[in-house]
A and B are shown apart, each in its own frame.
Chain A
Amino acid sequence: NAGVTQTPKFRVLKTGQSMTLLCAQDMNHEYMYWYRQDPGMGLRLIHYSVGEGTTAKGEVPDGYNVSRLKKQNFLLGLESAAPSQTSVYFCASGQARGVGQYYNQETQYFGPGTRLLVL
């Protein structure tokens, strides 16, 4: 069981370039998430998905797009990179637990992160 893996581990981009970050999970989880981590700000949710073929915006979605064509994969795209997108990006997956009012007590499992530097 690899858990959650992310590709690439590190990338340097020039302003205006595009790239795609890949997240893969082998735990058959329904939910997947993309976060960015910046110093002093904790993790902020970019986009998430509650199932194959579905995506939704999180707290800081501008400048990013996502796709969930397969249940195990969640792609994060930057169409035109900006220096403000220099960050560490984490993918996570989770599975809802509980019933009724306790539904969705999910634990999120995180990947090792991708360091992105935009010059």
Chain B
Amino acid sequence: AQSVTQLGSHVSVSEGALVLLRCNYSSSVPPYLFWYVQYPNQGLQLLLKYTSAATLVKGINGFEAEFKKSETSFHLTKPSAHMSDAAEYFCAVKGNDMRFGAGTRLTVKP
């Protein structure tokens, strides 16, 4: 069975600083990996997904993630945080079904 672990339930950065949200996965088959964002009182929106076409995946709102098989990681980054990035972020792995991490709440300080 597949699973993901998100390191850090809360991350706080200053506006303009680098955003790094960590995700490690476990999967017995080549994984399909996703990052979703959830704004308050809303459903989840897809940020980006890895489907084995390229290891560096670019998503919406300036986010990107790099698939590293040797490290079983799929960390999410953004070079410069914006106040509007404050939200909860979920990493997910798809095998027979989708398994989500516990989420990381990103706070952006002015």
Contact = CB atoms under 8 A, between A and B. Distances in A.
A119 interface: no
Given A43-B90, A111-B43, A101 B98 contact: no
Interface in B1-53: 9, 30, 32, 34, 36, 41-46, 49, 51-52
B44 A90 contact: yes
Contacts of A33: 98
How many residues of B sit at the interface, in one of the four size bands?
20 to 34
B30 A101 contact: yes
Interface of B: 9, 30, 32, 34, 36, 41-46, 49, 51-52, 90, 94, 97-103
A74 interface: no
Contacts of A20: none
B51 A40 contact: no
18 contacts: A33-B98, A41-B102, A42-B103, A43-B100, A45-B99, A58-B97, A90-B44, A92-B43, A98-B51, A104-B94, A105-B32, A107-B49, A109-B46, A111-B43, A112-B41, A113-B41, A113-B42, A113-B43
